[in-house]
Structure 1
Amino acid sequence: MKKRQIIALIAAFIVLIIILLLPNPETLPVAGQRALAVLAFAIILWVTEAVTYPVSAVMIVSLLAILIGLSPTIEDPSVTYGTSEALSMAIGGFSSTAVLLVAGALVLAAAMEITGLHRRIALYILSKVGIQPGRLVIGTIMVSFVLALFVPSATARAGTLVPILLGIVAAFGLAKDSKLASLLMITAVQSISIWNIGIKTAAAQNMVAIGFIETEFGVNIAWGEWFLYAAPWSILMSILLYIVMTRLIKPDIPDISEEDSLKKQLNDLGKISSKEIRLIVIALFLLVFWSTEGVIHPFDSTTMMIIAVAIMLTPTIGIFSWKEVQQKVPWGTLIVFATGISLGMVLLNTEGASWLSTNSFEAMGISDMPLILMIALLALFNILIHLGFASATSLASAFIPIVIALVGAMEPTSFNGIGLVLIMQFVISFGFLLPINSPQGMLAYGTNTFTAKDLLKSGIPITVIGYLLIILFSATYWQWVGLL
């Protein structure tokens, strides 16, 4: 463990103890204060990465079980919750259907990796668009979109694209630090982030918001609804990303035929296998049912995902065995994801989130502002605090419950409060500025094809454009389609 991490861990415990020892405000239940102390502890761990995310999850659950367990209940202060009930609250997120959807999504990503289908799709698309720099940018964005439909992990999508793009650069005889390498890698990072917003199942942080919305409002956001709301924004952002990138970086590349690069890589994969064909059928089956959820059938996204996993694991007609897939699924990600939902639910149930909302956003007068100005300020705050977070999932766990509490305090409202929560979730996926703000950014950054300064040069205009589009869509399109 590095010295920096030890200092951060000690700081987290010091902040936890300080908040616990502060006088308890009259308007804040004891349990709420203790939940906020754990939130502060968690944020320090997440921002500093003092320990790994799965380890932080175990620590958070332990603290919640003890601190909330010894707290008086809100209904009857003479009675404590007890550690058994507090532990149930601390692991409540594990029962969320959103966790099952993420688990199934990780299995699907593993299927893509085991069969190599994601690489075949990426190479096929890139080989069709051509190898001129501008066309390669278009191809990279297209691959990001198509993979986002079927590979519900930003890290997995980056893991597919990065080696292919490095292969293209090598085929031109260029170095890793060439302008072409920078252009393609940065485009890949930014387009992956853009389509994390456009597609419900593209990123785990989306499931965090879905989990909170289902728990607090009893509303399910269908895959097609999310696509209707967010995809137009992502399509427009993809076009603007192309304009920004092709004007920001202009590489000089030597002549090379397509046959010597992309098509050769595609041919090297060999003939498509029967497993890949079965996976294509399953993936298309999922996409059709997801996109028509609530329109022509009553089956929700999670149920269809679990059915797809069952088919993939069925002998003879499936893709793999459980022994094969269990080694590929990052179970720690699931633990962190479920713990994040649990922490948010505890904050809401103990009134910690509503107290924090009242003494921050409401004290600033945000709840009395016109809707568009409110969205503009909340989105700006969201973007700024993201600079300190390496995980959009952890940011969603910390921020979305506070937004939900703000909406709850404002009811009844002249607009759809769930829509406001969803828009803030869109902004959580920005992560355009620094490599550390997203796992795909860190993965691509590790190739040494660009510097943090290079990413910032593209990230600043993309963030500004994305922010302005959020405000524009809030004033127009999202009101027209009933999101607000």
Structure 2
Amino acid sequence: MKNKNLIGIILAFLALFIILMLPNPDSLPIVGQRVLAVLAFAVILWVTEAVPYPVSALMIISWLAILVGLSPTIDDPSTVYGTKEALGMAIAGFSSTAVGLVAGALFLAAAMEITGLHKRIALFIMSKIGTKPSRLVIGTIVVSFVLALFVPSATARAGTIIPILLGIVAAFGLTNTSKLAALLIITAVQSISIWNVGIKTAAAQNMVALGFIHSKFGIDVAWGKWFLYAAPWSILMSILLFFVMTKLIKPEQTNLSEGNSIQTQLKALGKMKSSEWRLIIISIGLLLLWSTEGFLHPLDSTTVTIIAVAITLFPKVGIFTWKEVQAKIPWGTLVVFATGISLGMVLLSTEAATWLSSNTFEAMGLAGMSVIALVAILALFNIVIHLGFSSATSLASALIPIVIALVTGMEPTSFNGPGLVLIMQFVISFGFLLPVNAPQNMLAYGTGTFTTKQLLKSGIPITVLGYILIIIFSATYWQWVGLL
């Protein structure tokens, strides 16, 4: 075990035991204090990555089962929850429909990988855009958007786009350390993060927030509504990204004949296979059902996704067999995702999130501020705290319950509380600054095409512009469409 991992584990256990040993505040139930100890333990493990995320998930479940199980109940302090009930609370996230949607997304991403359809789509779009550097930047952004519609995994999208872009760079006779490589790869990861905001099904962390919103407010945000709220922001950010990247990095002079490398790669894929055609039909059908949810039919996003997965597994008409696909599904991701939802739900049900909110955000005077000032301060706090997290899903699990507690503590308000929570979820996808801020950043960083300084140099203006747009949208568009 590396020394830094050992230090992370020691710090996590120290934080856990110190919080447990502190005097219990009168305004906080005993069980709430114990859950906050587990939260501190979890956050340190997540930030330091001292153990793999699935391992941290099992440790969190164990601590919740023990500490909540041995705690007096809020309603009747003379009785304890018991470990059986506490374990049920600790694994309640596994029954969330959000987990079903993420699981379905992983299967669909695997279908794209097995058939190679995502690569064909990306190459086809790039072949139509052209090979001038500015056009390649446009093509990269367009591909990020299109794949976000059909591939519900940021990491999978990065895994598709990056090899294609590196192939184009090589065809120019340039190396991975060239300015053109840095320009294209940084554009790719930044545009992936931008469209994680714009499309509900583009990122797992979106499902975390929606799970909490549904649990607390009983509200479901349809795919089309999310797109109405967030896509205009992502469109404007994509335009700004183009200007930032083309002004920031000036690539080398190139002499590649138009479309040569891209057409070569596209021809190498051969003719469309029948499995690709079937996946296109399934994907388009799924997108249509997602986008018309709540308007033309009563089926929610999770249900139609699970139906789509069932079709992909169906003999003859499907894409793959269970044996072929099961090895490609990162089951640990589902465990981490469900555990994060469980932790957030326990934070809310034990009043831990409410106490933490009142002693942080409310103590800062946020409760008496205007909604625009509230958005500005919370979004800034969100961006700063994200610097310590490599997983937006983990950040959502820790932060969104506290924001929900703040909103519910302020009711009645002159603005839409769940809408404010959703806006904070948009900001959680701001993984623009450092390689460790998002899995797709780390994947791209591993290619050696850019330095941390280059990513930061592009990430700072993109983050500032994104933050300003969040405030402008909060003052105008999001109020017009009823989000705030």
In the alignment, does 2:320 pair up with 1:353?
A: no
Which residue of 2 is the match for residue 54 of structure 1? 54
How far apart in 2 are the matches of 1:33 and 1:253?
A: 61
How far apart in 2 are the matches of 1:133 and 1:33?
A: 55
Which residue of 2 is the match for residue 370 of structure 1? 370
Q: Decide whether the 8 Å contact of 2:348 with 2:401 is kept in 1.
A: yes
- Distance verdict in 2 for CA 1:134–1:66, change over 3 Å: same
Give, as a single letter, the amino acid of the residue that structure 1 aligns with 2:61.
Answer: V
Structure 1 residue 253 displacement after superposition: 2.9
Alignment of 1:286-365 (within 5 A): 286-365=286-365
Which residue of 2 is the match for residue 471 of structure 1? 471
Which residue of 1 is the match for residue 411 of structure 2? 411
Structure 1 residue 162 displacement after superposition: 0.8
Structure 1 residue 258 displacement after superposition: 3.2
Q: Decide whether the 8 Å contact of 1:24 with 1:30 is kept in 2.
A: yes
Which residue of 1 is the match for residue 25 of structure 2? 25
Q: Secondary structure at the match of 1:299?
A: coil
Structure 1 residue 260 displacement after superposition: 2.7
Moved over 6 A (4+): none
Q: Secondary structure at the match of 1:360?
A: coil
Which residue of 2 is the match for residue 180 of structure 1? 180
Paired residue total = 484
How far apart in 1 are the matches of 2:259 and 2:102?
A: 39
How far apart in 1 are the matches of 2:244 and 2:7?
A: 40
How far apart in 1 are the matches of 2:161 and 2:413?
A: 44
Q: Decide whether the 8 Å contact of 1:107 with 1:329 is kept in 2.
A: yes
How far apart in 2 are the matches of 1:394 and 1:338?
A: 11
Structure 1 residue 235 displacement after superposition: 0.2
Deviations for 1:84-107, whole angstroms, at most 9, x for unmatched residues? 000000000000000000000000
Structure 1: runs of 5+ lacking an equivalent: none
How far apart in 2 are the matches of 1:122 and 1:462?
A: 24
Q: Decide whether the 8 Å contact of 1:127 with 1:258 is kept in 2.
A: no
* Root mean square deviation of aligned Cα: 0.5
Q: Decide whether the 8 Å contact of 1:180 with 1:253 is kept in 2.
A: no
How far apart in 1 are the matches of 2:259 and 2:163?
A: 18
How far apart in 1 are the matches of 2:56 and 2:469?
A: 35
Which residue of 2 is the match for residue 102 of structure 1? 102
Deviations for 1:38-75, whole angstroms, at most 9, x for unmatched residues? 00000000000000000000000000000000000000
Structure 1 residue 368 displacement after superposition: 0.4
Q: Secondary structure at the match of 1:12?
A: helix
Q: Decide whether the 8 Å contact of 2:152 with 2:202 is kept in 1.
A: yes
Which residue of 1 is the match for residue 236 of structure 2? 236
Which residue of 2 is the match for residue 125 of structure 1? 125
Which residue of 2 is the match for residue 192 of structure 1? 192
In the alignment, does 2:444 pair up with 1:450?
A: no
TM-score normalized by structure 1? 1.00
Alignment of 1:124-273 (within 5 A): 124-273=124-273
Structure 2: runs of 5+ lacking an equivalent: none
Alignment of 1:383-462 (within 5 A): 383-462=383-462
Structure 1 residue 259 displacement after superposition: 4.6
TM-score normalized by structure 2? 1.00
Q: Secondary structure at the match of 2:64?
A: helix
Which residue of 2 is the match for residue 115 of structure 1? 115
Structure 1 residue 344 displacement after superposition: 0.2
Q: Decide whether the 8 Å contact of 2:127 with 2:259 is kept in 1.
A: no
How far apart in 1 are the matches of 2:350 and 2:68?
A: 9
Q: Secondary structure at the match of 1:221?
A: coil
Identity %: 75
